[in-house]
């Protein structure tokens, strides 16, 4: 209980209030407005918003209980995302057991998060597993499609374990603001998810000029720019409440995070298109799978992390 | 014949086993994607038919039923495989609730292998059947044997519900003992019309129904 009260200090409570407000507005639009007009609401939108309540609730609860629970929650997210990825990609039957080695990346990565060893955390997947997994694949003795097997495996690990792992490492950074690591984590998650919604809404309202029609026909310049402006405002307004960012830093991130989030979104669309699926799974009603929900976060998390690690924490390390 | 045909699952150990062990393990260790869950019958008599890839198939199918309905769900299992040793036999009968079937005619003595399943249907139970008879190559459906058509001919009014299963042949294929965490998928179809006159046509209709359901499921082709 004391732990929860402690994390609520330093503006975190205020941001949770903001999240609650956003969810209430979304529910008002999806369920109450159609009812007041005497019409049935869009079931797609209703299930989407309801899933937001569940996702936001679980996330906030996990983050508030304590650092360890928060890290464990993100670790579980990595596991679900990796499992979803490995279930989608074509594999070689001979490599079936090598997949267990790939799962080994999760405890290894998060061990260094729990113990706060930045030097290992940043190296274990991109270097050690990058070298180890092809070695293990080689031991199966099958060279046909060897390169495909090793690169798809490593690409998935980078996305689901290395990139998402940065969210967890925010929690163990030494606090420069009373909101501490929880504040940083809430910031990047809220800004990224808000941008997804803002891009979607402004794309639906004003969208005309498609950006990458072959990959993601729903993405338009109007949606991208509208989302970026809304998100930048949010990013600058909430930065002083829960982060040590200066106004300039917040402004840069307010432009950088929506742009990077967009790239993550369309990159995962390209992957899904390659695999011939629309959604990675049907786990979250209205949203698809875990990968569909965290696609932009997988890109914004490491970029945000390195931005603050380089400019805010380190004297330009 | 021993009492295996009427010996039902353990009254509270089986629901407990599924609620506390199998369902959490399937959900967290593998993850389930189920389509048209509402089509699954929760009261018997009914015949539920699925393709067979893995030992996990039976556990997955059983875990799709409500705990309250589980009492009457009886998978068919090969007596020569699951009825051998005492411990396996106990688990198969009490926790899985399986009805043991003699696949091969024994030494000229002609017993009716389908009799125990018929009896279960007459008791109003739900019978789970894998008409391929055995787990084949991972994720490849083999031709169905005629047992299903024979059983359906005896009970033309009992609905036959096709189910397509996928992913289990990668997560735990035949001959492997270490499961790999991968998503498992199931799609449940509408009842297939019984055809007492034409065994072959009926079998093919069920096969076609399962293939169509399979096409609805996400597929990752392994080479």
B60: in domain? yes
Give the C-alpha distances (Å, rounded to integers) separating B176 from A62, A138, B169, B180, B211.
Answer: 36, 21, 10, 10, 25
B124 Rama sector, left if φ>0, alpha if ψ -120 to 50, beta otherwise: left
**Minimal Cβ distance to B138: which of A79, A93, A103:** A93
From A133-147, A282-296, B54-68, B113-127, the region with the lowest mean pLDDT: A282-296
Instruction: Report yes or no: A72 at the B interface, CB cutoff 8 Å.
Output: no
User: φ and ψ at B122, to 5 degrees?
Assistant: -65, -30
Q: Do A96 and B176 touch (CB under 8 A)?
A: yes
- A93 CB-near residues (< 8 Å, 6+ apart): B138, B222, B223
Element (H, E) at B205: helix B199-216
Burial label, B108 (beta-carbon count in 10 A; 0-12, 13-18, 19+): exposed
Distance from CA of A303 to the nearest CA of B (A): 29
Which pLDDT value is given to residue B110?
63
Q: What is the CATH number of the domain that holds B104?
A: 3.40.1130.10
Q: Do A93 and B223 touch (CB under 8 A)?
A: yes
**Minimal Cβ distance to B167: which of A79, A87, A145:** A87
- Which chain B residue has the Cα nearest residue A83? B182
pLDDT tier at B3 (50, 70, 90 boundaries)? very low
Q: Are the C-beta atoms of residues B133 and B149 closer than 8 Å to each other?
A: no
Q: Which of residues 145-184 of A touch B (CB under 8 A)?
A: 145
**Which residue of A80, A82, A87 is the best one to mutate when testing the B interface, meaning the one whose CB has the most B CBs within 10 A?**
A87
Q: Do A281 and B33 touch (CB under 8 A)?
A: yes
Q: What is the pLDDT of residues A43-83, one digit of tens each?
A: 888 999 999 999 999 999 998 888 999 999 999 999 999 99
Distance from CA of A152 to the nearest CA of B (A): 13
Average pLDDT over residues B158-168: 93
Whole-number mean pLDDT of chain B? 86
Contacts 24+ apart (CB under 8 A), A44-53: A44/A286, A45/A286, A46/A286, A47/A285, A47/A286, A48/A285, A48/A286, A48/A287, A49/A23, A49/A286, A50/A285, A50/A286, A51/A284, A51/A285, A51/A286, A51/A287, A52/A23, A52/A26, A53/A23, A53/A27
Question: Which pair of structure tokens corresponds to residue A90?
Answer: 């074509």
Kindly list the residues of chain B whose beta carbon comes within 8 Å of any beta carbon in chain A: 30-31, 33, 138, 167, 170, 173, 176, 178, 180-183, 218, 220-223
B221: in domain? no
Which pLDDT value is given to residue B108?
58
Distance from CA of B173 to the nearest CA of A (A): 10
Q: Are the C-beta atoms of residues B125 and B44 closer than 8 Å to each other?
A: yes
pLDDT at B2 over 50: no
Chain B CB contacts of A277 under 8 Å are: 218
pLDDT tier at B43 (50, 70, 90 boundaries)? confident
Question: Which pair of structure tokens corresponds to residue A185?
Answer: 């984590």
Question: Which pair of structure tokens corresponds to residue B85?
Answer: 């040793």
**Minimal Cβ distance to A145: which of B30, B218, B223:** B223
Which pLDDT value is given to residue B109?
60
Question: Which pair of structure tokens corresponds to residue A67?
Answer: 């650092």
- Which chain A residue has the Cα nearest residue B177? A97
Q: What is the pLDDT of residues B81-110, one digit of tens each?
A: 787 778 888 888 888 888 888 776 555 566
B54: in domain? yes
Q: Are the C-beta atoms of residues A181 and A6 closer than 8 Å to each other?
A: no
pLDDT tier at B5 (50, 70, 90 boundaries)? very low
Whole-angstrom Cα distance, residue A255 to residue A234? 11
Which pLDDT value is given to residue B105?
59
Element (H, E) at B161: strand B160-166
Domain of residue B41: give its range: 5-216
B76: in domain? yes
**Minimal Cβ distance to B218: which of A83, A92, A277:** A277
Whole-angstrom Cα distance, residue A158 to residue A126? 7
B42: in domain? yes
Distance from CA of B211 to the nearest CA of A (A): 18
Which pLDDT value is given to residue B90?
84
From A39-43, B156-160, B208-212, the region with the lowest mean pLDDT: A39-43
Please spell the DSSP secondary structure of B80-117, one letter per residue.
HHHSSSHHHHHIIIIIS-PEEE--S-BTTB---TTHHH
Q: Do A87 and B178 touch (CB under 8 A)?
A: no
B223: in domain? no
Question: Which pair of structure tokens corresponds to residue A92?
Answer: 């070689």
Average pLDDT over residues B107-117: 75
ipTM: 0.86
Average pLDDT for runs of 10 along chain A of length 317: 63 90 92 85 88 93 91 96 94 92 95 95 96 95 94 96 97 90 94 94 89 90 94 95 92 96 95 86 80 94 95 76
Question: What is the number of domains present in chain B?
Answer: 1
Whole-number mean pLDDT of chain A? 91
């Amino acid at each position: 209980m004391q732990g929860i009260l402690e994390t609520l200090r330093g503006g975190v409570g205020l941001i949770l209030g903001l999240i609650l407000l956003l969810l209430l507005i979304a529910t008002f639009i999806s369920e109450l407005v159609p009812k007041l007009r005497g019409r049935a609401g869009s079931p797609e939108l209703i299930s989407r918003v309801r899933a937001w309540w569940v996702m936001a609730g679980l996330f906030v609860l996990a983050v508030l209980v304590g650092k360890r629970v928060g890290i464990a929650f993100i670790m579980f997210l990595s596991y679900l995302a990796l499992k979803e990825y490995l279930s989608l990609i074509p594999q070689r039957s001979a490599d079936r057991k090598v997949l267990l080695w790939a799962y080994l990346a999760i405890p290894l990565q998060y061990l260094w998060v729990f113990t706060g060893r930045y030097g290992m955390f940043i190296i274990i997947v991109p270097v050690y597993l990058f070298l180890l997994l092809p070695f293990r694949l080689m031991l199966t003795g099958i060279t046909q499609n060897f390169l495909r097997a090793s690169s798809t495996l490593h690409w998935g690990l980078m996305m689901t374990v290395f990139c998402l792992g940065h969210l967890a490492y925010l929690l163990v950074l030494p606090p420069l603001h009373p909101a501490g690591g929880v504040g940083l984590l809430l910031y990047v998650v809220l800004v990224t998810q808000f941008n997804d919604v803002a891009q979607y809404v402004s794309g639906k309202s004003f969208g005309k000029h498609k950006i990458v029609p072959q990959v993601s026909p729903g993405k338009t310049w109007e949606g991208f720019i509208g989302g970026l402006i809304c998100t930048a405002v949010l990013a600058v307004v909430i930065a002083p409440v829960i982060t040590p960012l200066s106004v300039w830093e917040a402004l840069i991130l307010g432009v950088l995070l929506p742009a990077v989030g967009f790239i993550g979104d369309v990159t995962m669309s390209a992957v899904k298109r390659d695999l011939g699926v629309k959604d990675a799974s049907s786990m979250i009603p209205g949203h698809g799978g875990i990968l569909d929900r965290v696609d932009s976060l997988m890109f914004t998390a490491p970029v945000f992390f390195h931005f603050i690690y380089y400019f805010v924490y380190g004297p330009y390390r | 014949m021993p009492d295996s045909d009427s010996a039902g699952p353990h009254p509270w150990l089986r629901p407990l086993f599924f609620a506390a062990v199998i369902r959490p393990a399937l959900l967290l260790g593998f993850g389930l994607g189920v389509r048209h869950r509402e089509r699954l019958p929760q009261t018997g008599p009914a015949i539920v038919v699925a393709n067979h890839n893995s030992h996990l198939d039976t556990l997955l199918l059983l875990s799709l039923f409500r705990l309250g309905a589980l009492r009457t769900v009886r998978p068919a299992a090969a007596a020569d495989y699951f009825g051998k040793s005492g411990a396996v036999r106990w688990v198969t009968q009490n926790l899985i609730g399986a009805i043991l079937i003699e696949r091969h005619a024994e030494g000229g003595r002609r017993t009716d292998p389908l009799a125990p399943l018929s009896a279960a249907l007459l008791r109003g139970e739900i019978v789970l059947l894998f008409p391929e008879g055995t787990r084949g190559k991972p994720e490849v459906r083999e031709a169905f044997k005629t047992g299903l058509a024979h059983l359906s001919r005896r009970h033309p009014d009992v609905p036959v519900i096709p189910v397509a299963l996928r992913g289990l042949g990668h997560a735990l294929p035949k001959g492997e003992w270490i499961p790999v965490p991968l998503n498992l998928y199931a799609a449940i179809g509408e009842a297939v019309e019984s055809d007492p006159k034409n065994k072959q046509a009926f079998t093919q209709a069920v096969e076609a129904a399962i293939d169509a359901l399979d096409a609805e499921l996400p597929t990752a082709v392994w080479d």
